[in-house]
Amino acid sequence: MHDLGHFMSGKRISGKGNRSFPIVNPAQGEIIRHVTCATKKEVEDIVQNAQNAFPKWADTPPATRGKILSKFKNLLENHETEIATLIAEEHGKSIFEAKGSLARGLDVLDYASNIAAHLKGDHLENVGRNIDCYSMRQPIGVCVGITPFNFPAMIPLWIGSIAIACGNAFILKPSERDPSCPLRIAELAYESGIPEGIFNVVQGDKEVVDMLLAHPIVKTISFVGQTETARYIQETGIHYGKRVQAFGGAKNHMLIMPDTDLEQTIDALIGAAYGSAGERCMAISVAMPVGDQLADKLVAGLSAKIKKLKIGPYTDPNAEMGPLINQAHLEKVKNYIDQGVKDGAKLVVDGRSFQHPTEPKGYFLGGCLFDHVQPNMSIYKHEIFGPVLCIVRVKSYEEGLQLINSHPYGNGVALYTRDGDTARDFCTRVEAGMVGINVPVPVPVAQQSFGGWKNSAFADIGMHGMEGIRFFTKLKTVTERWPSGIRKGVEFSLLTTEHK
């Protein structure tokens, strides 16, 4: 067992703080290492180191930066199993899920490696007599990413890839629950040719976050996590003059029409609700079948498949769902289930008693399915962040749409139907940032941008894609005029001199 520290100047450094956090293997319920929280001086050193490295990196041609990022992507691909194992060991995902999450991060890194094409500006000739006008996007400075425990590779790559590609220096503050993967990624970034001080990792909790928020050198803050914290990050960051994007929680709905392909819908729901043990902000946690006949068939089909889910540690190659992140979160999810029963929802599949035969100390929870959930119940109103799916029966498309639009969260949403007119109306009127039509988890591809609405996002600019590039750059517009008479005179003088 050893302590993890920070990453600065191209190498790992031991933490000097007197506060540390245990890192637990959630499949075993045992402490496997510790991570040391940064001191104020360590934060200052890392920020200053990033600031010192920034000018040279910003001056590096975008095409050169892109080539280095391409090497970084190749290195990550070559170390796929190693990184996936670190994710699985500290988070609990299956190896299959861990590799999948890394792949989504690599998609954004691939997009970022083509940064030269994305940074092209606009040019307008002769806006006035002999006057041209053009725009350019330039790097902004030292950028900070504060990322959650559930995707320790994907989200740091979503944020860091674009920040670094645009010419900025990047400081990652990962979750203290699973920090090994981010440290390894930083090492590979340096190995690929990203200079010292451009990719840094600092460990810590709210104290370290507050230091970064208040630091005058830090220019941007990107956050993904709980809604309450996202709101705090936005308000505090703006107070200190930062550019902020803060993404919070979710309660994602799937509205299911009577004309849907039911078997396809059930399979989609199993993956969307129970993948990653429900610990993802894009999980479908509410299914809304239209009509009781469809609802009865949906519940029956889901129940059979949920009971057959293979639950186990990441070391089990057949595991479809792993444990929750820690004991406290396991108890929190169980409390929501208890409250749902108390409020009158019907618990059709109860996973609370599940215990893994060889890992009895692991934080495992079987898949749970509630039927007849009402909008006033806590299991409907709040983000549970676990393997719990709620069935809310609605009588019509309009009733379902209005329920979705009245919910305080607006991250992702899905509609399952075979009718194009219904789908088009849904896309136009639904109040959510990411919409899937017969796609259960509508996370945008790298070329597009990620971002929710309402209490799911406290940001005007989305993550990755062109939105991400706008966030990590400053727009500069140049208006220039060169008097034509002077120019012609100079050229004639030079020409005649050269030919004498």
Please tell me the distance from the alpha carbon of residue 177 to that of residue 152, in angstroms, as a whole number.
9
Q: Which of 114, 223, 211, 212 is nearest to 158 (CA)?
A: 223
Cβ contacts of 315 within 8 Å, gap of 6 or more: 27
Q: Are 369 and 391 in contact (CB under 8 A)?
A: yes
Please tell me the distance from the alpha carbon of residue 318 to that of residue 303, in angstroms, as a whole number.
20
Q: Which phi and psi angles does 31 have, rounded to 5°?
A: -75, 130
Q: Which residue out of 166, 281, 368, 390 is catalytically annotated? A: 281
For residue 310, the one-letter residue type is K
Q: Which of 199, 191, 132 is nearest to 165 (CA)?
A: 199
**368 is an active site residue:** no
**Catalytic residue ranges:** 281
